Amino acid sequence: MEASERDSTRDWLLPGRSRPPLIGELEDRIDEALATARASEAAVMTVGAAALDAAEQARRAADLAERASAAMLADRVPRAGGRPIPLRSAPPAGPEDDSLRAFSARADRVVARLRQL
């Protein structure tokens, strides 16, 4: 077989875009991916902690609002001869009461789910 008919090594070289990355380039990509993953993990932990704190504060605020509402209603009852005389019957469970309870229940569920994570 003549030399002119043989393939040269240049025929087998890949163009620059088609070449696989070098080991050093792969190591750099892995290091960058690890740094990104660690930063993402730290961000998620920060956001999770903030969400747990917010849910706990919301639950406490709902409890305090409920207690304040009950105390306000108890203070409005006049007393005659040491016996309380109710001004009116207990307030009906309206959308405010139900929404406050629903909010508190939802906050408790969020706290529980976040603690599981």
Say which DSSP state 16 is in: G
Say what the pLDDT of residue 91 is.
Answer: 55
| The pLDDT value given to residue 38 | 95
Model pLDDT, residue 49: 92
Work out how many domains the chain is built from and give that number: 1
Amino acid at 29: R
Whether residue 105 lies inside any domain: the answer is: yes
Task: State pLDDT tens for residues 74-107.
Answer: 766 555 555 555 555 555 555 556 777 888 888 8
Q: What's the confidence (pLDDT) of residue 19?
A: 83
Domain assignment present for residue 7? The answer is no
In a domain, 1, yes or no: no
Dist CA 108 CA 117 (whole Å): 15
pLDDT digits (tens, 9 = 90+) for 6-51: 777 777 777 777 788 899 999 999 999 999 999 999 999 999 999 9
Distance of alpha carbon 103 from alpha carbon 64, whole angstroms: 13
Specify if 98 maps to a domain: yes
Q: Which of 112, 111, 114, 97 is nearest to 62 (CA)?
A: 97
In a domain, 81, yes or no: no
CB crowding 62-89: b at 16 or more within 10 Å, else e: beeeeeeeeeeeeeeeeeeeeeeeeeee
Please give the pLDDT value at position 79: 54
**Could you tell me if residue 104 is inside a domain?**
yes
